[in-house]
Amino acid sequence: MSSISDRGVIDFTMVEDNRHVLIITDDLPWNYAVRQSHAQAMQEKISDYLGYVISGQAEEAHPGCRCVIRVVAEYPYSQYGLNFLKKIQAYLKKHNDPCDLEWTHPDEDKEWDDGFSDDFVFDPSKVYVRLKKNWSENPLEEVSLLAVNEKSPDYRNIPMYRYMDSFVYLFMQDVGNAFTYLTYDSLPEGLDMQELQKAAFANMAANVHYKLTESKVKGVYGFLAGGDFEAESLLFPELFQQTAEELGDDLLISVPTKDIVFITKANDLFLPGKMLTQARQMFETNRSQSPYLLFCRDVFRYSRKDNTLTIDPKRTL
């Protein structure tokens, strides 16, 4: 069965009351966390259908019938989703009216407000950094932020900076009950990107507090930061400097998921093995159950002498 993510495919067609109906099967939800990617997928799918209509293929298949693109949704629409479809509907009317656009979902479902204002206002005091693994086979040439086997989205509209070659960091803004990633479109015209970086890192330093705690394995520790910014500790080597001094050794660090950071003494005979076993189990569990929570297989080493954080080339999860 086709879905909204399948490009270049007309999911279903039918003739109804002298109308040639082209059906899009929309199998994605409109929750806040995915609504922008959902809208992008919908726009691309509708664009494919329009190409079919404008090329004359639809008329050739059913001469004399008015074309209709009908979205049949599995999930109820949020107000954001409805507003998005209405904008496309209005656009079609103003641009030669090549076809109608309509949508439907089960009668018992009503539109709902996802609780977030669409009047986004950029606020540098609420901007933070998000660190991501670049899973591309050629991380110095391209970016792929998905650990799962899916087509990599187009990231050209997202400001990002390379870190330790195979990582990148992006920017996101706290919008109340969630974080939204910043795009070039959402930033004020002429914004100095260095100022954005300074603001984001300053907010991290002021508002994100890391706490060192011992894990279930004695001698293996971790950073806690409320579940939102544990992996971002890799951006702040000074955090590991303090921990290394407390433990009296260089450190080995692993970050199997975005909210778990394991730390132990690098030169201990037994602890590195225990930590890596624990981290591997965590990585494998999440790879099957929660693939979008994966962070990386890399193992990092902090050197007290050099005050540097690097990827250990001899170890991996």
Give the pLDDT of residue 7.
Answer: 83
Please tell me whether residues 217 and 296 are part of one structural domain.
yes
Angle between helices 35-54 and 79-94 (to 10 degrees): 30
User: Which one, of 187, 223, 229, lies nearest residue 205 by Cα?
Assistant: 229
The DSSP result for 180-226, as a single string, is EE--GGGSPTT--HHHHHHHHHHHHHHH---EEEE-SSTT-EEEEST
Give the pLDDT of residue 311.
Answer: 96
**Of 207, 224, 257, which one is at a domain's C-terminal end?**
207
The region that residue 96 occupies, defined by phi over 0 for left and psi between -120 and 50 for alpha, beta otherwise, is left
Look at residue 236 and tell me if it is in a domain. yes
Give the pLDDT of residue 112.
Answer: 64
Please tell me whether residues 227 and 291 are part of one structural domain.
yes
Give the pLDDT of residue 53.
Answer: 92
Give the pLDDT of residue 255.
Answer: 95
**Of 51, 71, 104, which one is at a domain's C-terminal end?**
104
What is the domain extent for residue 85? 12-104
Tell me the β-bridge partners of 180.
173
Look at residue 111 and tell me if it is in a domain. no
Look at residue 238 and tell me if it is in a domain. yes
CA distances from residue 56 to 19, 65, 165 in whole angstroms, order as listed: 15, 12, 48
Please tell me whether residues 147 and 94 are part of one structural domain.
no
Look at residue 7 and tell me if it is in a domain. no
Give the pLDDT of residue 4.
Answer: 86
Look at the pTM and tell me if it is higher than 0.85: no
Give the pLDDT of residue 151.
Answer: 61
CATH number at residue 67: 3.30.750
Look at residue 2 and tell me if it is in a domain. no
Please tell me whether residues 188 and 215 are part of one structural domain.
no
Look at residue 3 and tell me if it is in a domain. no
Task: Give me 139's structure tokens.
Answer: 């991380």
SS3 247: helix
Q: How far apart are CA 231 and CA 12, in angstroms?
A: 44
Q: Specify whether the CB–CB gap between 266 and 250 falls below 8 A.
A: yes
Please tell me whether residues 234 and 196 are part of one structural domain.
no
Please tell me whether residues 232 and 311 are part of one structural domain.
yes
Please tell me whether residues 228 and 275 are part of one structural domain.
yes
Look at residue 4 and tell me if it is in a domain. no
Give the pLDDT of residue 196.
Answer: 96
Q: How far apart are CA 4 and CA 46, in angstroms?
A: 9
Q: How far apart are CA 231 and CA 223, in angstroms?
A: 9
CB atoms within 10 A of CB 83: 13
Give the pLDDT of residue 176.
Answer: 73
Please tell me whether residues 160 and 242 are part of one structural domain.
no
Task: Read off φ and ψ for residue 84, nearest 5 degrees.
Answer: -65, -45
Mean pLDDT by 10 residues, the chain (317 residues): 80 92 91 82 91 92 94 87 90 91 74 62 92 89 75 79 95 82 86 95 96 93 91 94 94 93 96 95 80 81 94 93
Instruction: Give me the amino acid identity at 273.
Output: G
**Of 39, 73, 104, which one is at a domain's C-terminal end?**
104
Please tell me whether residues 89 and 21 are part of one structural domain.
yes
User: Looking at the 3D structure of the chain, how many domains does it have?
Assistant: 3
Please tell me whether residues 221 and 308 are part of one structural domain.
yes
Please tell me whether residues 229 and 246 are part of one structural domain.
yes
* Strands ordered across the beta sheet of 260-265: 211-214, 221-224, 260-265, 251-257, 298-303, 308-316
Look at residue 176 and tell me if it is in a domain. yes
Please tell me whether residues 74 and 96 are part of one structural domain.
yes
